[in-house]
Structure 1
Amino acid sequence: MTKKFEVALIIDPGSPYDRRIVRGVAEYVHRVRREWSIYVEEDLVDRLPDLQAWGGDGILANLDDERIAAAVMSLGIPVIGIGGGYGFYEHHPEIPYVRTDNRAIARLGAKYLLNLGFRRFAFCNEPLTKFNGWAKERADAFADVIREAGFPCDVFTGRHSPAKQWRQAQASLQEWLAKLPAPIGVMACHDGRARHVLQACRTLGLRVPDDVAILGVDNDDLMCELTRPPLSSIEQGALRVGFEAAAMLDQLMQGNQLTQPQLSVPPEQVVTRQSTDVTAVADPDVAEALEFIRLNACKPIHVSDVLDLARMSRSTLEARFRESIGRTIHAEIRRIQLEEAQRLLITTNIPIKEVVQRVGISSVQYFNSVVRNATGQTPGEIRKRALR
């Protein structure tokens, strides 16, 4: 008979990111058929239960909050930390902890903007504090990838908190943006900061995405769709953060030791909306061909279809592709197919055979080979990591 446990989930359920963590916890409880009574409080004041009277069995808590960290450390029951990995968690690194992989998030964003054909890049950060070291991680990793690709990267931090000094913060952001060459791909440390960039572009008369393509992080659907144009964003692995944290807590409550007490979870995908819906290459024929490939790669199409559109010889178009994006026509078709394949593997439960059909690859065996060569993982391994 499964033992019943009382678990407190101490986060901010008003946050879209935290709500996905809750979904990940629920997914774990459902999948392994656990009998958990879970305390989750909507009111921020009451997020923390009366722990002395509560008498529960385990806690999943955001340890960035000093009050919460201090309260849960002395209870003598299993605690798993979730959060940014900074703030007050740094004082208790011995606590098992699950966090998003900030460097992987930045690398994904950098490669996404590189694949759009940009040759100029920038990262918009926020003023650094002891709580947001994750933002510096993202900025540093983004700049590293861009510079390794042979391009400069401008990083902006700013001196004013937008929450407290909105006008000054926006003025300095506008001053920075006005000096950047267009077209340029800009990644922001999170969706809120990306919206600040978009607002500054609007004030300056910069076109989004034609002059400035903007990519955020968190994929807060409501906030991303409220902007004009809608904001592209990286979906963090919050669902898996919740799942893995619940699995770790379960092990501790069962009296077992953890083999991996610290875990970083990679991001899921880039969700493209209008703020990056552009192909930023100077050659208009290549740009037209790239747009055709993006829209039709999974039908499928072949190199000959692209040549028919461009109305030029293969040798000429291949040379212009290599000069503009550093890839062949066939490599670009395959890249789009693989991007869609990984999205389907991560975000759906449809059979792999159907994934193969949807992305326009000829057979399951060939699909397995292509995916493994490109990612180092089989399709099944990619799907296992995604929980869905």
Structure 2
Amino acid sequence: MQHRQEVALIIDPSSPYDRRIVRGVAAYVQQAQRDWSLYVEEDHIDRLPDLKAWGGDGILANFDDRRVAAAVTSLGVPVVGIGGGYGYYEENPQIPYVRTDNRAIARMGAQHLIDLGFRQFAFCSEPPTRANGWAKERAEAFCEAIEEAGYPCEHFAGKHSPAKEWRLSQAALQKWVAKLRTPIGIMACNDGRARHLLQACRFVGKRVPEDVAIVGVDNDDVMCELAQPPLSSVEQGAMRVGFEAAALLDDMMQGKKPAQQRTAIPPERVVARHSTDVMAVADEEVAEALRFIRQNACRPINVRDVLDMARMSRSTLDARFRTAIGRSIHAEIRRVQIESAERLLITTTMPIKEVVQRVGVSSVQYFTAMIRNATGKTPGEIRKAALR
């Protein structure tokens, strides 16, 4: 009979990102039917277990805190690092590491704002430190994606730490926001910085989302819903980080050599809330047609319905769509249907036949082809990846 294995999770329970990682670890334990005893301590440094007395079999540790990395790297048990990708790894090349894909996160946020019709963009970061290179990586990837789409992009980091010098940090942020040309779409490096940005917009009289649309990162649902207005945010895929890290640790505890040392997990989706609930299109008739599509694409509707609403010919409205957002009317209907389908596949266990009906597609076969063409994956593969 296999003995129960003791696994320590050295994480920060106050962090939404770390809590999602724990959920991913639990999902792996349940799916793989492992008999693990999970040790989770609220104080992730001062109460790090004495492994000689504890007799543990393996450790999953958030290496974004260098003190954690230093504490667990010489304990003589299998260790897998997890985190955002900075503050840890150069000194520990032998420890496998599962991290978020910061570049993919930034590109997802950029595409969300581009799809809303914005033509002016900015990234709001924070002063660089040795441990927050993830913020710099996101800023660079966001600006690259925006510039590849043919638009300019500003980048603000500031000189003062919001945690240590709040008044100076916020004053500088307000000064920057006041000078921005609007309408503008801004991505913040995380939800905390996005909330700072919301406060700065209120202080200088910029409306969100009408003047400034804001998207953060982490999807801390409680804090995002409490923000005024509620904050759109990128769901990083932290549960998948926890799942893959647990699978890797499981192999190591069984004496297997890690297949790879470094794994980047892509983000899941943008969870859209009121802070980006706007279509930044100067052509008011196109903007009205876009709102109609967003509200009705899954009923379903077709191009004729949009033309009837707009009271225009197809050639005229299609040309104005392409000028305003770079897509045809038909392509925009499909984009909204695909976005809705992915959300249902990822966040529910609804049968695929019902998802097909919910998004207004004629058949499972056509739905599968539509999703594969758009994402490179079948509906089943999208769901399987989200549930792992």
TM-score by length of 2: 0.98
Retained in 1: the 8 A contact 2:57–2:77? Answer: yes
Retained in 2: the 8 A contact 1:356–1:364? Answer: yes
- Paired residue total: 388
* 1:226 and 2:207 matched: no
Aligned twin of 1:289: 289
Hey, what's the Cα distance between the residues in 2 that align with 1:67 and 1:174? Answer: 34
Aligned twin of 2:248: 248
Cα separation, partners in 2 of 1:348 and 1:261, compared to 1, 3 Å: farther
Retained in 2: the 8 A contact 1:40–1:47? Answer: no
Aligned twin of 1:38: 38
Retained in 2: the 8 A contact 1:60–1:79? Answer: yes
Q: How does 1:367-378 map to 2 (within 5 A)?
A: 367-378=367-378
Identity of matched residues, % = 72
Note the alpha carbon deviations across 1:253-303, whole angstroms, 9 max, x for none: 011122123111111111111111001000111001100101111111111
* 1:238 and 2:230 matched: no
1:90 Cα deviation (Å)?
2.4
Retained in 2: the 8 A contact 1:25–1:242? Answer: yes
Hey, what's the Cα distance between the residues in 1 that align with 2:152 and 2:229? Answer: 26
Retained in 2: the 8 A contact 1:58–1:253? Answer: yes
Q: Which amino acid aligns with 1:131?
A: A
Q: Which amino acid aligns with 1:376?
A: G
Retained in 2: the 8 A contact 1:12–1:47? Answer: no
Hey, what's the Cα distance between the residues in 2 that align with 1:67 and 1:157? Answer: 25
Moved over 6 A (4+): none
Q: Which stretch has the larger CA shift, 182-191 or 350-359?
A: 350-359
TM-score by length of 1: 0.98
1:71 Cα deviation (Å)?
2.0
Retained in 2: the 8 A contact 1:11–1:47? Answer: no
Hey, what's the Cα distance between the residues in 1 that align with 2:321 and 2:255? Answer: 58
Aligned twin of 2:324: 324
Hey, what's the Cα distance between the residues in 2 that align with 1:3 and 1:290? Answer: 59
1:47 Cα deviation (Å)?
4.4
Q: CA RMSD in A?
A: 1.2
Q: How does 1:240-319 map to 2 (within 5 A)?
A: 240-319=240-319
| SS of corresponding position for 1:281 | coil
Retained in 2: the 8 A contact 1:208–1:275? Answer: yes
Retained in 1: the 8 A contact 2:191–2:220? Answer: yes
* 1:152 and 2:158 matched: no
* 1:348 and 2:344 matched: no
Retained in 1: the 8 A contact 2:45–2:67? Answer: no
Hey, what's the Cα distance between the residues in 1 that align with 2:342 and 2:94? Answer: 35
List runs of 5+ in structure 2 lacking aligned partners.
Answer: none
Q: Which amino acid aligns with 1:385?
A: A
| SS of corresponding position for 2:41 | coil
Hey, what's the Cα distance between the residues in 1 that align with 2:303 and 2:99? Answer: 42
| SS of corresponding position for 2:256 | coil
Note the alpha carbon deviations across 1:112-160, whole angstroms, 9 max, x for none: 0000000000000100011011111100110011000000000111000
Q: Which amino acid aligns with 2:290?
A: L
Q: How does 1:167-246 map to 2 (within 5 A)?
A: 167-246=167-246
Aligned twin of 1:87: 87
Hey, what's the Cα distance between the residues in 2 that align with 1:60 and 1:186? Answer: 34
